[in-house]
Structure formats: structure tokens, C-alpha cells
Structure 1
Amino acid sequence: METLGELLSQMKSSQLRQRSEELAARLMNDPLVWELRDSHPELEQQQLTRGMAKLYQYVNDRRHCENCPGLENCPNDFPGHYTKLTVEQLGGKPELVDLQVPCGKQLQYEREVSVKKRIHSFYVDERALETGYDEVEIMMKDNQRAPAVTKVFSYINEVREQGLKPSGLYLEGHFGTGKTFLMCYLLHELAKEGHSGAIVYMPEFVEELKSMLQDSDKLRDTVEMMKQVDLLIFDDIGAENLNPWARDHVLGSILNYRMNRKPTFYTSNYSLNALEKHLSFTSKDGEEAHKGQRLMDRIAPFVEVVQVRGTNKRGRS
């Protein structure tokens, strides 16, 4: 859409006065301008004429918004924003003042960007963290997992009402029952409340740690971030091939810091007892029961176990 100045500059000088008068008359008779005049009877014709460019932009933006084509195709000069007019006393006289204000779609987009910035994902499909969750659909998709969904919903509401607590959830269940999805939902909902979070797919994270041995700065920053985020999720714990260093110096360090401080969450196919046996064994040193127990002392007391039952949904649309 052309600006008022562009329209006027395109007119031949002989037509300028007549065309500008027609444009001004049409603008002054626009219902939006009449609405503004009714709200501010102190405005005189002189102020309206002087602010005609602002009025023109105001009317055009409002018309575009009434027929909004979506944020990506916003035709306004400042996409995602519209012109808002206020009246202020300047030099003892009322004057039109224009402001560029974000629309509802722009505000929603900014909120979504803000949420995504609070969430770190390590080797987890980013699609699981996208917006568009439907609580009714989550609850009704599989009646067998309804108790687990209710517990996750309850946890989210408790944090909203009471703030973060040091204990998390341990989602135990078979493959494909939606454990990761529920944790992504929890992470997304609490990120909207301002909490930072990270979700870590354990099998690939443990493999990636091997390459981080050659990059001490990346290793240090990664471990420190996992210590400090408000919400940390270890996804599919028990499916990784542990080595003593990853177990004792990385995972152990993170959990040792977070216990009694910040909540840690887990998804697993193992029960807590079976996970302890898994953590007691490494490919290098074999079984070391005391080291598995030491790690479990930093997990079991700080989680509530939630059984996630249901049918395998992997591979379904």
C-alpha cells in the first residue's frame, strides 16, 4: 500500500489540488476518523489536516487488520504492527500522536520465540517441542495413559501455583507410549511461565560426550547448562552404553548439583530397580554395584514414579 506522500507525489501539478481535496474529503468521512473525532471533540479541523498523513496510515492499517492475511503476509509498513492514534496536549493544543503497536498475532509470535529460547534440546526431535498442544487431545488420545497425563497436568499446575520444587517425575513405560511427548509438553508449558529447561536424549548424549573430550570448553558449558536450567529431562535413560567417566564424572556431577535444588525428570523403559542395575554396569569396568547405588541415591529420592501405559504410537501419524 502506498503512503499518502507517494500518492500525492505521483499526481500532475494541475491535478494536485483537486485530487488532494478528494482524498482528504474521503479520509475525513471515513467511519474510523469519525469515531476518532467523536472520542476527541477537542480536535479541530486544523489539527486533523496537519495530521492527515497519520490519519491515512491509521485507516489503512486498520483496514488491513480487518482482513488480516496472516503475520507472514502482513501488508502494513511495519509488519505485525498497526498504527494507533492518541491525542496529547502539545503547546497547550491537542495534537495527534501516532504509535506503532504490535498486533495479537505478533505478540503471540514473540511469546513463542521467547518460549523456544528458554528450551534447549539435545538430540530430541524438535517437532516434539513445537506449539499447538491440545490438552483435551492429549488426555483422550489413549485412555490407558490418562492417569499419567493427569499426574503431568497436576505437576504443571502445582508449579504454576507454588513455584518450582526440587522433586521431578520419573515416567516409566514401554516403547511408544508417549513418555517423551508428555515431558516435552511439561517443558513447553512451564517455559511459558518463564522457566528454562533442557531435554537430553541419553543414548546420543553419552556418545557425543566422547567427542567433547577433545573440546573442554564445550563440555564444561554443556554440563554447566544442565546443572543450572530450571527443568532438566533425561530422556530414555537406561538405553545408553555407559562408560565410567560419563556415569561418574558427567552424569554424577550434574545430579549431585541438582539434588535438593532443582527438579530433574526422566523417561525410561526401566523401573528404578532395573535402572540401578543398568547404572552399576559399564563396558569398561563391568559391574560396580556401589557406583550404581550412589547414582540412584541422587535419582530415586527426588522423583515420583509415574507409570505410563498405553499402546505403541510410534510410526503413526
Structure 2
Amino acid sequence: MESLNKTIQKMMQGRNVAANMDQVMKQVYQDPEVQAFLNQHQAQLNKESIRRGRSKLYEFFHEKQLIKAGKATVAPGYSPQLQLVAGQIDVTYVPTQQLIERRHQEHLRQLVSSINMPKFIRRATLDGYYLDDQNGTEGRVMAYNAVNDFIDNYQPDHFRPGLYLTGSFGVGKTYLLAATANELAKHDVATTMVHFPSFAVEMKNSIRTNEAGSKIDAVKKAPVLMLDDIGADAMSTWVRDDVLGVILEYRMQEELPTFFSSNFSMDQLEKQHLAINNQGVVEPVKAARIMERIKFLSREITMNGENLRKKG
């Protein structure tokens, strides 16, 4: 700002441009906002203080003209405002409504972190969740109502279980989780969404770089966690017990709400997926232990309906 002010002062002091600047200053003084400012502070301003403040008045007027013309300004995203400081005219810059909204949207995006999730989760909204006559099935309506109930009653210091959304491909399980996360962000609640099969692969690869522990910590401590597509791929004993089990144990002990989506019901997940590892070994006790934590952290809802992916 100082360099701009000095440049303006030099321009106004130059002999060759003095006459032109007088014409410009006539425009400046005729500006409604400049007039309103001078009228508001006429008791504190005299001719000399106004003369000394000409460069600031010009700066204010000039920046407004640039903004109006859509040209580059000294402070992009900010609008100038006149103020009186210790009896001297000055210009301050405040964020525009567009900048405030852009920052707000960026803040919301930062509250929803995702790991290996599709791009559409950023655009998912509860308003975009199909509930028309054709798609408003009992299960979809029940899930929608349960999500809204969770959002309305969520308190960081009071445990509320999340949801375990089960159903066939394309009924909107992942979309509803994403819409829930985006809605929670509007209430300043941070959510982490994880595509669990992809995360499991990532965890295996991170063993070589000694990053497994930090990755698990980042997920398990999320204020609200959403594990998408549980049961989509065969799970090794290590992933089941030392990754998923560790995450769920921590969240159960800390009473942190957790959401799940799966093509398996809870019963199917336990008996057909968690109990049989990728080597074909059957371990029902360990599966039951994992399932106990899932049931503590969430409530099961079956979403029925046609495959919405066919809608494009």
C-alpha cells in the first residue's frame, strides 16, 4: 500500500500532470462515497487535512474504478474503505463478499478430508439425494431421516452412534455419506471419509516406509469417520486386526461416531467376510470382536431401491 501511495503522490506533484490531476480530483470529490465520508467527518477535517489526504482519496477512488472495470487491483479480493486515523485520511482494505464466500467454501472443503474417495463427494448434498416417488423407498427415506437426526443432534462431547448403511450397488450409500459429511462441515464438524479397500492397499504399501502408524492415527482420531465399502475386497488378518481393529477399538474407547457403507449386512459382513481371511482361514472369534465394535459405533439401515448410477 505504501508504494502505491508514494507513486500517487509523485504523480500529483509532477508539473506536467498537475492540471490533469486537478481534473481527476474533481471527479474524486464528486464521488458519492467520498462526499459522504467528508460530510461525516467535517468536524474533524479542515482544508489542510483534506489537501494532505488527496492521495488517499485518489487511491480510494482509483481502486474502486479498477474493481468496477474488472481490472487488477493493488489488493485482489479486497475493497477500499476510507477511514480517519488520528485526524488523517487513510484507506483500509476489507475482504469483498466474494472473497469471504470463497474462504468459507475453502474452509468447508478443508473440514471434509478424503482418502481414495471419488471426486463427486465434494458436490454431494442432501438436497441432491433422490427421494422422489420412484426412488423414495422405505430404506432410503429411513437412512435420510437418520442422517438428519444425527446432524441435528450431534455434539462433540456427547456420543451418538453413526450409521451402517447396507444395500446393493448404486442405491446411494456413498453419496449419502458424502452429503452428510458436507452438511456437517456447515456446522464446523470435521469428517474424514475413507474408501476402505483402497486404504487397506495403501496401508500394506506404507509398511516399507514406516508410515503405517501415522496413517492409522490420522484416521482413527477423526471427529467423525466414514468407512466406505467395507467388505468389498478380501481382507488379510493384518488389515482386519491391526488396521481396522485398531481404528475401531480407539473410536469405541473414545466414543467417536463412525459411519460405514457396505454391500453386506452386518451379519453377512461378520460371517462371510471378517471371519474368513484372504488365505481362507476361518476365525469367527476375531470376526465377532470386530463386529462388536461396529455395532457399538453404528446402527444398521438397509437401503433398498434401483441402481441410481444408471441415471448418469
> Aligned-pair distance for 1:39?
2.5
Counterpart mapping for 1:233-312 below 5 A: 233-260=226-253, 261-277=255-271, 278-312=273-307
1:309 partner amino acid = N
> Aligned-pair distance for 1:281?
0.8
Q: Distance in 2 between matches of 1:11 and 1:195?
A: 53
Pair 1:23-2:24 in alignment: yes
> Aligned in 2, Cα 1:307/1:210: closer, same or farther, shift over 3 Å?
same
> Aligned-pair distance for 1:98?
2.2
Question: Out of 65, 69, 79, which is 2:76 matched to?
Answer: 79
> Aligned in 2, Cα 1:196/1:137: closer, same or farther, shift over 3 Å?
closer
SS of alignment partner, residue 114 of structure 1: helix
1:193 partner amino acid = H
Pair 1:137-2:128 in alignment: yes
Decide whether the 8 Å contact of 2:126 with 2:179 is kept in 1.
no
1:208 partner amino acid = E
Decide whether the 8 Å contact of 2:167 with 2:303 is kept in 1.
yes
Structure 2 alignment gaps of length 5 or more: none
Report Cα offsets for 1:266-299 as digits up to 9, x if no partner.
0111111111111111022521111110100101
> Aligned in 2, Cα 1:228/1:265: closer, same or farther, shift over 3 Å?
same
Pair 1:227-2:194 in alignment: no
> Aligned in 2, Cα 1:282/1:194: closer, same or farther, shift over 3 Å?
same
Q: What is the match of residue 194 of structure 1?
A: 188
Decide whether the 8 Å contact of 1:8 with 1:16 is kept in 2.
no
Q: What is the match of residue 49 of structure 1?
A: 51
State which drifts further: 41-50 or 287-296. Answer: 41-50
What is the TM-score with the length of structure 1 in the denominator?
Answer: 0.85
1:153 partner amino acid = N
Q: How many residues matched? A: 302
Question: Out of 166, 171, 177, which is 2:165 matched to?
Answer: 171
> Aligned in 2, Cα 1:15/1:212: closer, same or farther, shift over 3 Å?
closer
Q: Distance in 1 between matches of 2:38 and 2:125?
A: 44
SS of alignment partner, residue 304 of structure 1: strand
1:250 partner amino acid = V
> Aligned in 2, Cα 1:5/1:24: closer, same or farther, shift over 3 Å?
farther
Decide whether the 8 Å contact of 1:176 with 1:312 is kept in 2.
yes
Q: Distance in 2 between matches of 1:51 and 1:164?
A: 57
Q: Distance in 2 between matches of 1:46 and 1:134?
A: 58
SS of alignment partner, residue 227 of structure 2: strand
- Over the residues paired in the alignment, what is the CA RMSD in angstroms? 2.6
Decide whether the 8 Å contact of 1:206 with 1:241 is kept in 2.
no
Q: Distance in 2 between matches of 1:235 and 1:302?
A: 15
Structure 1 alignment gaps of length 5 or more: none
State which drifts further: 100-109 or 231-240. Answer: 100-109
Report Cα offsets for 1:109-163 as digits up to 9, x if no partner.
2222223333331111133124xx5543335464233332222122112126x76
